[in-house]
């Protein structure tokens, strides 16, 4: 797509009178509180390198420790066991790629079929090193099959990587049971959980869970992007993926940047100080919006589980007879922003492997619509969407004839 | 070092009446102009994923293209040949590690002895893959020996990585000549230059230089950290180091973040719109400060070349009979912030491999003092340092007896 056509597109598109942003999965802004936490560190304090022995360096080191501890506390882990990285993608990669250096004899990695692409692709990249990847299937609600997990474990198993919550369909995985099964079989099998979609949504105590590695995300709790975290259990010496001059952090060279850390920590503070309140709030909005749309729009399917088995912030519906591109475009023109698991709704043209894994047919995946709810969403946005989206769907179906794709 | 001791240290340390910050090599803040360029993208615009097909995504894609083009223009390259990364460390790693996948037959990488650690360590990490590393020595001023480069080139040579300017001692390398020697020998040998310290200081035209890969840094031109760039010549398909969901950028998953990109682009705009003015200004301050200190303090040595062979922003002096930790500490207590190539001045306890490579004796490396100058430094800071640093050195020497370390 050329720049000019985007400009033209935007002119044609216009702007709706009201707007509802639900595409937090793919992009987010920060609120004034998080922004104000970053501001002084951009402009006037903590700009030294925390590894350098002068006053600005020490002040940075002190601030660094204070802010980082807020994040560690939210997981009930010690600050020294929390590494900062640039993204949850990097955290997932360090875990998956890094374990091959921890035990060179074992050659099997087990993942579920609904892991994030950063886990699946990192695992796949290990084929060349003679690593075998076993993929655990999931139920129609996306729940990992623990019996098959149990069967696949053997003395050749290096690691198991299972997400805590699925980022697309909101499935809360039986992660505690999974870890118990793995560790009961063999304490030496590493267990990694990608908790990016779970962090701040469900109670996570990495110590109590007895997990070896845990990925968390700043952006997914409305902190800034370009910073994330990786919990590493005491005594495990993971290696960084690439090489450089290490400073305070030892898993990701050059990652130390106070403004982003302070923003991350502020987002953590807000999310965890009001943990119950925020999650009850999004859950209420979720159910109102999800069931409201299900009731008013014909031929709708809910992707993923319902009730308390589903992440409180996740709505994923399939509008049959609609195509993802038409859905996101027509919604966008009406001020509603969400994404679809259809291949044609992003420039990368990848269909959702998750909808396929739960057995959705192409026509269902095509019409899928992912909306996430955060503390920054309002009841007004939900009401506006409840009024507007049925008309959008009707219009799309009237144009395409609601064809069975 | 425990948090408590840092707090105590800071209380004892106090704050000097005047301050001069010269440790831009290790940490930097941004000015109001760069900050204001980032602000709207944090809070209210361009927060979508540029790969997603809705209005917020398209707006982000449009802004992304506009801001990125400013950076590409500064190098006289096309935007599609500029990849964004999280750091110059990552850019260097993608180049060094990535070339092994471009040509699997060639097994030799050539670097200079004064490259950044991210280049040297990345190259060293390839030993396991049967890659041989050849290190080119440098002169007493840090200039890469082109005769030895010529000798080392052969049909087994995969790539050559040479910096454009040395980040510690300011040596401007004969990079154009080096590339000509390499490409005259064999067009298929890849040439990478780490231009982090050169970008914005000397004229760099990556197309005209005929370089294959070029690393640039945002932080080193007073943009935000956690974003950097890598130029990749047309037709070369480098691979990312780690795996994930790719969006607009294809070399570093998850790197798209408008606020940091906009800050980077603004820093580029300032640095390149006033290119001559800024570099003449820092050059004037550099010479005033460097020669002023050399004149007023006994037993001082300049590390690196002088005049126009030296980067306009770089001062690196060795105060004989002083130890780096005492130097940075005592300077810090007097409000002057710089770093030293001594092993004891950072928590990572690494001595400068660069001072060793140019033949500095331990006593000289111990007393080294690196100061960088930017458009944000003032003549007043320089004057204050000229007044104060001689007293600092005198005091250190009087305590230690100016011993030959």
B13 close contact with A: CB closer than 8 A: yes
List, by residue range, all CATH 3.90.1150.10 domains of chain B: 3-30+275-400
Distance of CA B145 to the CA centre of its chain: 21
Question: Is A346 close to B90, i.e. CB distance below 8 A?
Answer: no
* A3-29+275-400 to CATH, choices 3.10.20.600, 3.30.200.20, 3.90.1150.10, 3.30.70.1350: 3.90.1150.10
Contact B84/B164 with Cβ under 8 angstroms? no
Average pLDDT, chain A: 94
DSSP character at residue B161:
E
As a whole number of angstroms, the distance between CA A300 and CA A87 comes to: 34
| Listed range (A50-54, B168-172, B388-392) with the worst mean pLDDT | A50-54
Question: Is A44 close to B51, i.e. CB distance below 8 A?
Answer: no
Q: Is the pLDDT of residue B402 over 70?
A: no
List, by residue range, all CATH 3.90.1150.10 domains of chain A: 3-29+275-400
Share of chain B above pLDDT 70, in %: 96
As a whole number of angstroms, the distance between CA B373 and CA B289 comes to: 10
DSSP character at residue A345:
G
How close, in Å, is residue B39 to chain A by CA atoms?
A: 8
Burial of B14 (0-12, 13-18, 19+ CB in 10 A): exposed
Q: Which fold has domain B3-30+275-400?
A: 3.90.1150
Q: Is the pLDDT of residue B400 over 80?
A: no
Tell which residue, A298, A309, A282, A283, has the closest CA to residue A140: A309
Share of chain B above pLDDT 90, in %: 86
Q: Is the pLDDT of residue B193 over 50?
A: yes
Q: Is the pLDDT of residue B264 over 60?
A: yes
Non-local CB neighbours of B182 within 8 Å, separated by 6+ positions: B149, B153, B160, B189, B191
Tell which residue, A357, A371, A355, A367, has the closest CA to residue A315: A371
Q: What is the pLDDT of residue B162?
A: 98
Instruction: Tell me the two tokens of residue B376.
Output: 């944000």
Contact A155/A186 with Cβ under 8 angstroms? yes
List, by residue range, all CATH 3.40.640.10 domains of chain B: 32-272
3-class SS of residue B140: coil
A250 close contact with B: CB closer than 8 A: no
Q: What confidence category does residue A402 fall into, taking pLDDT thresholds of 50, 70 and 90?
A: low
Q: What is the pLDDT of residue B343?
A: 63
Q: What confidence category does residue A364 fall into, taking pLDDT thresholds of 50, 70 and 90?
A: confident
Task: Strands of B77-212 (E only): list them.
Answer: 82-85, 108-112, 132-136, 157-161, 190-194
3-class SS of residue A317: strand
Angle at alpha carbon of residue A100, lines to A172 and B350, rounded to 5°: 110
Instruction: Tell me the two tokens of residue B375.
Output: 């458009």
Q: What is the pLDDT of residue A9?
A: 77
Non-local CB neighbours of B128 within 8 Å, separated by 6+ positions: none
Question: Is B29 close to A21, i.e. CB distance below 8 A?
Answer: no
User: What is the mean pLDDT of the segment spanning A294-316?
Assistant: 97
Q: What is the pLDDT of residue B344?
A: 62
B101 close contact with A: CB closer than 8 A: no
Q: How would you classify the pairing of strands A300-302 and A314-319?
A: antiparallel
Q: How many helices (H) and strands (E) does chain A have?
A: 14, 12
The 3 state secondary structure assigned to B323-375 is CHHHHHHHHHHCCEECECCCHHHECCCCCCHHHHHCCCCHHHHHCEEEEECCC
Catalytic annotation on A322? Answer: no
Non-local CB neighbours of B370 within 8 Å, separated by 6+ positions: B22, B23, B25, B168, B314, B315, B316, B338, B339, B340, B341
Instruction: Tell me the two tokens of residue B354.
Output: 């660069």
Residue from A239, A243, A338, A344 whose CB has the most chain B CBs within 10 Å, to mutate = A243
User: What is the mean pLDDT of the segment spanning B367-391?
Assistant: 97
Distance of CA B172 to the CA centre of its chain: 13
Q: Is the pLDDT of residue A5 over 80?
A: no
A85 close contact with B: CB closer than 8 A: no
As a whole number of angstroms, the distance between CA A224 and CA A71 comes to: 14
Which positions 265-294 of B are in contact with A (Cβ < 8 Å)?
none
User: What is the mean pLDDT of the segment spanning B51-59?
Assistant: 91
Residue B119: how many other CB atoms lie within 10 Å: 28
Burial of B31 (0-12, 13-18, 19+ CB in 10 A): middle
Residues of A in contact with B224 (CB under 8 A): 42, 257, 259
Q: Is the pLDDT of residue B68 over 90?
A: yes
- Output the CA–CA distances (angstroms, integers) from residue B288 to B281, B295, B296, B379, in the order listed: 11, 10, 12, 9
HSE-up of A402 (CA within 13 Å, CB side)? 12
Contact A347/A209 with Cβ under 8 angstroms? no
As a whole number of angstroms, the distance between CA B58 and CA B62 comes to: 6
Q: What confidence category does residue B1 fall into, taking pLDDT thresholds of 50, 70 and 90?
A: very low
Question: Is B52 close to A23, i.e. CB distance below 8 A?
Answer: yes
Chain B residue whose CA is closest to A331: B54
Question: Is B3 close to A65, i.e. CB distance below 8 A?
Answer: yes
Condensed to tens digits (0 to 9), the pLDDT of residues A72-96 reads 999 999 999 999 999 999 999 999 9
User: What is the mean pLDDT of the segment spanning B113-130?
Assistant: 94
Second CATH level (architecture) for the domain B32-272 = 3-Layer(aba) Sandwich (3.40)
Q: What is the pLDDT of residue A1?
A: 43
Distance of CA B383 to the CA centre of its chain: 26
Q: Is the pLDDT of residue A151 over 80?
A: yes
As a whole number of angstroms, the distance between CA A262 and CA A223 comes to: 9
Q: Is the pLDDT of residue B121 over 60?
A: yes
Q: What is the pLDDT of residue B405?
A: 44
As a whole number of angstroms, the distance between CA B16 and CA A371 comes to: 53
H runs (alpha helix) in B131-231: 146-152, 175-185, 206-209
B124 close contact with A: CB closer than 8 A: yes
Question: Is A350 close to B30, i.e. CB distance below 8 A?
Answer: no
Burial of B363 (0-12, 13-18, 19+ CB in 10 A): middle
Tell which residue, B271, B282, B353, has the closest CA to residue B315: B282
Condensed to tens digits (0 to 9), the pLDDT of residues A266-294 reads 999 999 999 999 999 999 999 999 999 99
Q: Report, in angstroms and rounded to the nearest whole number, the Rg of chain A calculated over CA atoms.
A: 22
DSSP character at residue B219:
G
Q: What confidence category does residue B116 fall into, taking pLDDT thresholds of 50, 70 and 90?
A: very high
User: What is the mean pLDDT of the segment spanning B141-166?
Assistant: 98
Q: Is the pLDDT of residue A305 over 60?
A: yes
Condensed to tens digits (0 to 9), the pLDDT of residues B270-327 reads 999 999 999 999 999 999 999 999 999 999 999 999 999 999 999 999 999 998 889 9
Non-local CB neighbours of B292 within 8 Å, separated by 6+ positions: B382, B386
Q: What is the pLDDT of residue A341?
A: 85
| Listed range (A165-169, A180-184, B158-162, B339-343) with the worst mean pLDDT | B339-343
Which positions 147-206 of A are in contact with B (Cβ < 8 Å)?
none
Question: Is B348 close to A51, i.e. CB distance below 8 A?
Answer: yes
DSSP character at residue A367:
T
Which positions 23-62 of A are in contact with B (Cβ < 8 Å)?
23, 26-32, 35, 38-39, 42-44, 47-62
A354: left (phi over 0), alpha (psi -120 to 50) or beta: alpha
Contact A386/A293 with Cβ under 8 angstroms? yes
3-class SS of residue A23: coil
Orientation of helix B379-400 relative to helix B275-296, angle to 10°: 30
Contact B143/B174 with Cβ under 8 angstroms? yes
Contact B226/B192 with Cβ under 8 angstroms? no
A13 close contact with B: CB closer than 8 A: yes
Q: What is the pLDDT of residue B12?
A: 79
Burial of A343 (0-12, 13-18, 19+ CB in 10 A): middle
User: What is the mean pLDDT of the segment spanning A166-176?
Assistant: 97
As a whole number of angstroms, the distance between CA B166 and CA B120 comes to: 13
Sign of the alpha-carbon dihedral angle for A314, A318, A319, A323:
positive
Chain A residue whose CA is closest to B332: A54
Out of A49, A253, A345, name the one closest to residue B89 (CB).
A253
Place of tokens 């002169």: B139
Sign of the alpha-carbon dihedral angle for A175, A216, A97, A187:
negative
Chain B residue whose CA is closest to A224: B42
Question: Is B92 close to A337, i.e. CB distance below 8 A?
Answer: no
3-class SS of residue A80: helix
């Amino acid at each position: 797509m050329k720049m000019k056509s985007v400009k033209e597109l935007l002119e044609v598109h216009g702007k709706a009178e009201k707007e509802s942003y639900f595409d937090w999965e793919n992009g987010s802004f920060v609120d004034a509180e998080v922004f104000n936490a970053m501001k002084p560190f951009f402009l006037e304090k903590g700009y030294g390198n925390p590894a350098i022995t002068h006053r600005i360096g020490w002040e940075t080191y002190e601030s660094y420790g204070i802010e980082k501890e807020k994040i560690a506390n939210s997981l009930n882990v010690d600050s020294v066991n929390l590494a900062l990285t640039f993204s949850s993608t990097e955290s997932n990669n360090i875990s998956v790629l890094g374990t091959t250096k921890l035990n060179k004899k074992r050659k099997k990695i087990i993942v579920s079929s609904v892991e994030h692409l950063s886990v699946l692709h990192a695992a796949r990249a290990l084929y060349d090193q003679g690593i075998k990847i076993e993929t655990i299937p999931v139920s129609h609600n996306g729940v990992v099959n623990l019996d098959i997990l149990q069967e696949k474990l053997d003395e050749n198993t290096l690691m198991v990587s299972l997400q805590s919550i699925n980022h697309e369909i909101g499935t809360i995985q039986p992660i505690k049971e999974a870890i118990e099964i793995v560790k009961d079989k063999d304490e030496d099998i590493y267990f990694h959980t990608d908790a990016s979609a779970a962090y701040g949504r469900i109670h996570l105590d990495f110590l109590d869970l007895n997990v070896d590695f845990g990925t968390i995300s700043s952006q997914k709790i409305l902190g800034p992007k370009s910073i994330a975290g990786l919990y590493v259990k005491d005594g495990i010496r993971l290696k960084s993926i690439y090489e450089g001059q290490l400073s305070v952090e030892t898993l990701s060279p050059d990652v130390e940047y106070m403004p982003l850390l302070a923003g991350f920590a502020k987002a953590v503070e807000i999310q965890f100080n009001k943990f119950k309140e925020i999650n009850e709030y999004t859950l209420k909005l979720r159910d109102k919006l999800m069931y409201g749309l299900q009731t008013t729009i014909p031929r709708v399917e809910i992707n993923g589980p319902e009730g308390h088995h589903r992440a409180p912030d996740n709505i994923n519906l399939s509008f049959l007879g609609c195509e993802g591109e038409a859905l996101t475009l027509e919604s966008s023109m009406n001020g509603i922003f969400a994404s679809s698991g259809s291949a044609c709704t992003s420039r990368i043209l990848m269909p959702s492997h998750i909808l396929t894994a739960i057995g959705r047919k192409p026509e269902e995946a095509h019409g899928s619509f992912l909306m996430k709810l955060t503390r920054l969403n309002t009841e007004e946005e939900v009401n506006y969407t409840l009024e507007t989206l049925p008309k959008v769907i009707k219009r799309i179906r009237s144009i395409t004839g609601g064809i069975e794709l």
